[in-house]
Structure formats: structure tokens, C-alpha cells
Amino acid sequence: MNIRLGVFVATLFLLPLLASILTGANWGESLIVTALSAQALLLTALLLAGYTWLLNRLTVLRRGANLLGVPGRYQAYVVGSSAMLGWLALSFAHYTDNDFALLLDAATITATTLLFAGLIPAALVTRAWLATFPSLLRLLARYSPALPALKAEPAALWMLTLALVGLMGGVARPQLLAVLLWSSPLFLLLALQMLWHEDTLFSGLPQGDWQRPVLAAISGLVVGGLVLACYVSSGGTITQIAPLAWAGFALFGLIAAQLNELIASGWRGKSRGEIFKRKAFPIPVVVKKD
């Protein structure tokens, strides 16, 4: 798990930076600096933490999973990964728009990190709460088609290719490949899980099980909309919301759920598998004993 997580972080950080250096991106020529309200960010982080705690209690009362009762080390991985993913998302925003920059001081950095750290826990708790509604699960089971099963090795290579093209090409040609750049964390996570023979968020699609990806996407929409509402109501200012922002919130929910799958694999007690299983030797070997 630690190897996959390290590869994930290093790839998302280094490849866009390398692509930016190779393409000679002109940063700062007509820079538009955006200032964020540290007070609004901190209030939003506190409101999000309260929302996560309250919804987790409601989930437990509905006999759902108690996500805040898991081991502390597991929670630390989730919170740390959430903060890391938030800052990587900000770097992606800068790569896709070289004129975009944030005015960051110590207070803003601290408040922003606290807010980012609570995003994935909030999305996971929201998904667990949605899973306590049997009517919603029955609806998804009734109208969910089964998709053809894909072989793990070719699918992993395709996911890895899409991730690499997005991380490099999305920086070089953001007008054409920005969507692929933003989707690259999900593609990379899927590739890493399949390379290590782990289940993914979409493993149930051949059986018509759409519950995990659909609930994850809905949780991303809920948390994204909640954060925007809390930030504005706390005194923050948002000049405009991009047309694809809501699609980005759904994508965040999928990435959060899949990243949680990667982290959870370290607590399942499975032995680590090889990357791509070894094929049997085509010629049988017989050893005669003297």
C-alpha cells in the first residue's frame, strides 16, 4: 500500500512539473493573483468537520458503518491523503491556467490545508450514509446494466497510458486535454490497483453492481456543493463557477472512494501480489531422481 501511495503522489507531482519544464510554460507573465479569505476557509473547515461527525452519527444510528471508529493510523492516512490531493488539485488548476495563482500566507495555507484534510473523510461518510437507504440501493440494482468484463492486464495498461497522457499532455495542451489531466488521478489509481490485483471501484460493473461508483459520485457532488455554500456564507467570495465544476465534484467523489480503496488494502491482511501474474512455463519439466 505504501509503495502504491508513494508512486501515486510522486507521479502526480513530478510528471506535470516535467511537462511544464519541457514545454517552457510562461508562468507569471500576466498573472492574476486571487486572494482567499483565511477566516472563511477556517469556518468552512470547521463546518465540514461538524457535518462529517454529525452524519457519521446518523449513519451509525441507521446501522451503517462507523467510519470514524476505524484505527487511528488508517484515519491519519485518509486525512493526510486528502490534504495532499487538495494541494495537487490546486497545482493542476495552475497548470491548466498559467495566469491563475493564489495569494498564500501562513494563515491561508493553514486554513486551506485543514479544509483539504476534511474533504475525503466527508465524502466517505456521505457515501456510507447514502448506503443506509435500502430504497436507493434497490433502485440502483434494478436499473443498472451489466457491462462486459475487462481483462485486468490490458485494462491496467490502458488506464496507465491515459494517466500518463493526461499528466503530460494536459499541461502541454490544456485547451485540448484539460479533462484528461483532471481525470488522470482516477486513471492512475485504477491502474495501480489492477497491477496489484486489487479490486477497484468498478469491479462490480460486470455483475451490474453500480452502487459503489454512483454513491461515490453523489457524495462528491454533495460535499462539493456544501463546501461552496459554506465558504460563501462564511464571507468568502467566488467570482465564478466553471461550467464543468459539478462534473469535477463527481469526479472528486470517485477519486476519494478509489483512494480510500487503495489505503484500505493495507488493512485487509492480504499478501502482496506480483505485478502481472507469472505465466506457466509452456514445456513441462520432469526431474528424475537417481
pLDDT in tens, 209-220: 899 999 999 999
* Weakest mean pLDDT among 121-130, 210-219, 230-239: 230-239
What ranges do the domains of the chain cover?
A: 2-267
pLDDT in tens, 187-207: 999 999 999 888 899 988 988
pTM value is 0.88
Q: How many residues does the chain have?
A: 290
pLDDT > 90? residue 95? no
Q: Which residues pair with 35 in a beta bridge?
A: 103
Q: What angle do CA 262, 267, 273 make, to 5 degrees?
A: 65
Predicted local distance difference test score (pLDDT) of residue 30: 52
